[in-house]
Chains A and B, each alone.
Chain A
């Protein structure tokens, strides 16, 4: 596989680990570009240098490449492109699953997430999280007993053993070399949606035009990357108007950064009621 190294020295990125539990553990990371995105894998613990983990990481990248070939709307020979051209859809189990999940996502976000865009069927906003979840299966097994995370273009699926966590910084959309908040996560996923890096690329399905809802970015924490990604996108499209359906989702937490720089977040973890 092709490894990418980088020598950037952004201020908040020392890579050290908070708390003593994870200090001194062996760790290793991989980076490869798939679907036009940098996909990095980090493993921390005894499994970091194992041959099994190495194989699982190779499998992960291969799995993502296959998903890209089959479901990218930018590849003319993909199953999604066939649908966009009006051809009868393939009956592959994966495509049926993706379409069912897209329908479910539309319901659960009150239409803020919708793969049926004016320009045609585009499930990209859901397929990435779905693909990463699937591709990570072998890594989960090979890295059992160790910590791992997969960062797919800023959207992260992770696991840490009891007593340990990954420190996940959320990018400040007003200053991309800074983080505005750090979450210590031991399980689940976190995804951020915004136009800070790519310009207006997120479409409001209700208008077909670039979304603008008064927020610079929306970050969602959820048990799975698929739903973290969907909720982050939908929350960005609708802004604070998405709160009524966001707050129904147990285990989902969303952080908004508004255009004036202020932050609004929902908390999913109940505190003790008194």
Chain B
């Protein structure tokens, strides 16, 4: 995977605009995104940066907004954005304790390749009993039903 770093100079509203923009165009977004945010090599990931490609992941710098710092990572395949991730660091100081109580502990989650065949369970739109036998979950349960 090729990576390079884009430095977005934007607010969160611009972030939302980026999403909306993708809706309205549906493709060929990367060049304009690059125009919005000139690319420069970054040091936020261990992969080697490159430039001039139309595929890869692009990570922006952290930008302060009223909700706290925001960072964006996009994945581009064949000049089309296939994934956008907003990496957000809440400010932390003024958060009410109620939220903090639910916020901890942080999850140890890692994104693995999509379409992985190694799956223990499935999260999906609520599966009713009627639809159960056709769901992906049923196959997983079948593999481990014991006793």
Q: Which B residues lie within 8 Å of A183 (CB)?
A: 109-112
Let me know if A187 and B86 touch, CB within 8 A. Answer: no
Q: Which B residues lie within 8 Å of A269 (CB)?
A: 106-107, 109
A244 and B22 CA atoms in complex are apart in Å by 19
Q: Which B residues lie within 8 Å of A28 (CB)?
A: 144, 146-147
A177 and B120 CA atoms in complex are apart in Å by 15
- Chain B residues touching A, range: 35 or more
Let me know if B86 and A243 touch, CB within 8 A. Answer: yes
Within the complex, the shortest CB–CB distance from A236 to chain B, in Å, comes to: 9
Let me know if B114 and A267 touch, CB within 8 A. Answer: no
User: Counting chain A CB atoms within 10 Å of each CB, which of B71, B105, B122 scores highest?
Assistant: B122
Interface string of B1-28 (1 = CB under 8 A from A): 0000000000010011001101100100
The stretch of A64-72, A80-88, A163-171 in contact with B is: A163-171
Within the complex, the shortest CB–CB distance from B116 to chain A, in Å, comes to: 4
A8 and B131 CA atoms in complex are apart in Å by 12
The one of B16, B103, B126, B133 in contact with A252, judged by C-beta atoms closer than 8 angstroms, is B103
Let me know if A197 and B136 touch, CB within 8 A. Answer: no
Q: Which A residues lie within 8 Å of B102 (CB)?
A: 222-224, 227, 249, 251
The one of B84, B87, B116, B147 in contact with A271, judged by C-beta atoms closer than 8 angstroms, is B87
A158 and B107 CA atoms in complex are apart in Å by 11
A93 adjacent to chain B (CB < 8 Å) = no
A51 and B45 CA atoms in complex are apart in Å by 47
The one of B83, B105, B135 in contact with A262, judged by C-beta atoms closer than 8 angstroms, is B83
A173 and B135 CA atoms in complex are apart in Å by 12
Interface string of A233-247 (1 = CB under 8 A from B): 000000011011001
Q: Which B residues lie within 8 Å of A49 (CB)?
A: 146-147
Q: Which B residues lie within 8 Å of A260 (CB)?
A: 23, 26
A219 and B125 CA atoms in complex are apart in Å by 9
**Known contacts being A151-B137, A167-B116, A247-B67, is A265 close to B144, with CB within 8 Å?**
no
Residue of A nearest to B69 (CB): A273
**Known contacts being A3-B145, A192-B125, A250-B103, is A167 close to B112, with CB within 8 Å?**
yes
**Known contacts being A167-B116, A243-B16, A264-B19, is A251 close to B103, with CB within 8 Å?**
yes
Shortest 7 CB-CB distances between A and B: which pairs?
A: A171-B124, A15-B143, A6-B138, A194-B125, A13-B139, A250-B103, A169-B119
* Extra contacts besides A15-B143, A251-B107 (14): CB < 8 Å: A4-B132, A7-B142, A10-B136, A10-B139, A13-B140, A27-B146, A28-B146, A28-B147, A38-B129, A38-B138, A49-B146, A154-B126, A169-B136, A192-B125
